[in-house]
A and B are shown apart, each in its own frame.
Chain A
Amino acid sequence: GIQVEQSPPDLILQEGANSTLRCNFSDSVNNLQWFHQNPWGQLINLFYIPSGTKQNGRLSATTVATERYSLLYISSSQTTDSGVYFCAVLRSGTYKYIFGTGTRLKVLA
């Protein structure tokens, strides 16, 4: 089956720093989403991004489907950005989203 790898697995930042999270996938996908799981366990939609670039405030994402990767950029990080970031891909020909193992981010005040 399709493999979804995220890097780095863990990241510690000082407040105000910038970071880039990466998601690599091993096969063709029709869609890709980024989620943030906050410390209370809620899964929050960040981006629905099958291709191209999107921005939402301090966060932006880029997906290059032909090269099988996506990047999530966090600028001027805040303590509320802490949590786990997941990418999920939708395999071509199915409706089964497959999740990566996540990047655990901790932002220190």
Chain B
Amino acid sequence: DAGITQSPRYKITETGRQVTLMCHQTWSHSYMFWYRQDLGHGLRLIYYSAAADITDKGEVPDGYVVSRSKTENFPLTLESATRSQTSVYFCASGIERRGPPETGELFFGEGSRLTVL
């Protein structure tokens, strides 16, 4: 089925470990995003990507690394996890509608709940 999937859905790790959250979409959307959701902060943008090999920082990029070698995949890596990165992470993708201005509807994956001990 077409859609956007995240894995793992749940992950427990320890401080200092590297963790990668995977995101895969089957729509061929140009744009993909990573958000984190924390109590009291709502949804905050970590990184986004306009196309394969094009990525840019969002509001809270520190401590995270992204890559996008293929249009359909957008992994998020925590190189050395910290307790403050305990959160629910959402991947999203959006349709690029041709012609200015930039528009497009955003669709979310089911989220990945990460706990850093």
Distance in angstroms from B100 CB to nearest chain A CB is 9
A95 and B48 form a contact (CB under 8 A):
yes
Q: Is the CB of A96 within 8 A of B45?
A: yes
In the complex, identify which listed stretch (B17-25, B65-73, B77-85, B102-110) lies at the interface while the others stay far away: B102-110
Interface SS of chain A: strand
Verify B43–A99 contact, CB threshold 8 A: yes
Contact B42–A101 (Cβ < 8 Å) = yes
Contact: B105 with A41, CB < 8 Å? Answer: no
Interface contact A50-B111, CB-CB below 8 Å: no
Of A42, A92, A95, A102, the contact of B110 (CB 8 Å cutoff): A42
Closest 8 CB pairs of A and B: A43-B108, A99-B43, A48-B105, A30-B101, A101-B42, A31-B103, A95-B102, A99-B42
Interface residues of B, Cβ cutoff 8 Å to A: 31, 33, 35, 42-45, 48, 50, 58, 88, 90, 92, 94, 101-108, 110-111
Q: Can you give 27 A-B contacts (C-beta < 8 A)? A: A31-B103, A31-B104, A33-B106, A42-B108, A42-B110, A43-B111, A45-B106, A45-B107, A48-B105, A86-B43, A88-B43, A90-B103, A94-B102, A95-B31, A95-B48, A95-B50, A95-B94, A95-B104, A96-B45, A96-B48, A97-B33, A97-B106, A99-B35, A99-B43, A99-B44, A100-B42, A102-B42
Residues of A participating in the B interface, judged by any CB pair closer than 8 Å? 30-31, 33, 35, 41-43, 45, 48, 50, 86, 88, 90, 92-102
